[in-house]
């Protein structure tokens, strides 16, 4: 015990002992001789300082020193604690990396999905404008609706091309939409010709 164990804190044995006196006593009991008072005179000087409540020369152990000493006395337990802390840090790191990856993935999805959703609404709007223009031309017999149609038809083609660029994986189904749109435009163009010829009923 004398060689390996630090003495029990005086505060445990007697709670009312002032901290400075505890520090002086523990300095006298240091295992390493170089950490004790070098002479009886140095001890006497600290005791003389203590009595009138002046600052003493001895210093209490810092938190890091206390932990280091405890670790040296309990190597097995220290290993377990350090292994646990390391595991916790690894888990925390993995969770942080996973969260970062999820955030980046969602950011990339939103970066593509939001424009696609807006584009989808735009395509539906243009489709309705073109269809209604052709219907109104055939109903009223007025050619002015053809001008409105021509102003928007190129925008629909451009919107479909943009959709392919934003979602390359949807190129095949969008090609089918584009083909159907081309067929519809041909039919509507024919309808406008009938209107211009005064054959709106046909």
pLDDT digits (tens, 9 = 90+) for 78-133: 888 888 999 999 999 988 888 888 888 787 777 777 888 888 888 888 889 888 98
The pLDDT of residue 41: 95
Torsion angle of alpha carbons 192, 197, 199, 202, nearest 10°? -50
Angle at alpha carbon of residue 77, lines to 72 and 81, rounded to 5°:
105
Closest of 100, 109, 106, 88 to residue 166, by C-alpha? 109
pLDDT mean over 57-63: 69
Between CA 23 and CA 58 the distance in angstroms is 7
- Global pTM value: 0.42
The 10s digit of each residue's pLDDT in 6-56 is 788 888 888 899 888 999 998 998 888 888 999 999 999 999 988 998 888
In angstroms, the CA 132 to CA 125 distance is 11
pLDDT band, residue 64 (cuts 50/70/90)? low
């Amino acid at each position: 015990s004398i060689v390996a164990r630090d003495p029990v804190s005086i505060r445990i044995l007697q709670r009312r002992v002032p901290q400075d006196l505890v520090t002086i006593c523990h300095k006298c009991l240091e295992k390493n001789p170089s950490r004790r008072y070098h002479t009886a005179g140095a001890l006497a000087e600290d005791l003389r300082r203590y009595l009138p409540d002046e600052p003493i020369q001895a210093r209490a152990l810092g938190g890091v020193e206390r932990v280091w000493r405890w670790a040296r006395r309990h190597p097995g337990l220290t290993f377990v604690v350090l292994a646990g802390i390391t595991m916790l840090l690894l888990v925390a790191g993995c969770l942080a990396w996973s969260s970062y990856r999820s955030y980046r993935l969602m950011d990339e999805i939103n970066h593509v999905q939001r424009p696609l959703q807006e584009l989808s609404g735009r395509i539906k709007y243009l489709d309705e404008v073109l269809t209604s223009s052709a219907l109104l031309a055939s109903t009223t017999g007025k050619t002015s609706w053809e001008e409105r149609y021509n102003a928007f038809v190129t925008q629909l083609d451009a919107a479909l091309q943009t959709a392919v660029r934003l979602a390359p994986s949807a190129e095949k189904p969008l090609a089918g939409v584009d083909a159907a749109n081309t067929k519809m435009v041909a039919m509507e163009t024919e309808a406008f010709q009938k209107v211009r010829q005064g054959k709106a009923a046909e």
